[in-house]
Amino acid sequence: GAGVSQSPSNKVTEKGKDVELRCDPISGHTALYWYRQSLGQGLEFLIYFQGNSAPDKSGLPSDRFSAERTGGSVSTLTIQRTQQEDSAVYLCASSRITDTQYFGPGTRLTVL
């Protein structure tokens, strides 16, 4: 079946611009997660959704970062006023409740 999909695959933006990253989870997966992987760093947890609510947003690095999920499916991660340190690969994962997480291919964000 179809896996987790993310768009765009690559995004280049200028410092100060807003960006939106999209995640389509595996059908039937109620849990959705966002992670960030910077060069040479491990994956860093950002936020967890169960259905449309986010019981854990503790990993969002600043108030410039926000995420929402609608219809228990698609999620959007928004970064406002991007900074160069936001450059990273943003990975989305989904799972059944809190089962094994399956990752999408990621969005590579470059802030110039």
Partner 1 sequence: RKEVEQDPGPFNVPEGATVAFNCTYSNSASQSFFWYRQDCRKEPKLLMSVYSSGNEDGRFTAQLNRASQYISLLIRDSKLSDSATYLCVVTGSSGTYKYIFGTGTRLKVLA
Number of residues that bind partner 1 (CB under 8 A): 23
Our CA angle for 105, 4, 81, nearest 5°, is 60
Residue 105 within binding range of partner 1, rule CB under 8 A = yes
Give the separation between CA 44 and CA 42, rounded to whole angstroms: 6
Residue 5 within binding range of partner 1, rule CB under 8 A = no
Region of 11-19, 20-28, 44-52, 60-68 interacting with partner 1 (CB under 8 A): 44-52
Residue 1 within binding range of partner 1, rule CB under 8 A = no
SS3 (DSSP) at 85: helix
Q: Would you give the end-to-end CA distance of the chain in angstroms?
A: 37
Residue 53 within binding range of partner 1, rule CB under 8 A = no
Residue 46 within binding range of partner 1, rule CB under 8 A = no
Asked whether 4 and 25 are in contact (CB, 8 A), the reply is yes
Residue for token pair 């690969």: 89
Among 62, 78, 83, 98, binds partner 1 (CB under 8 A): 98
Residue 102 within binding range of partner 1, rule CB under 8 A = yes
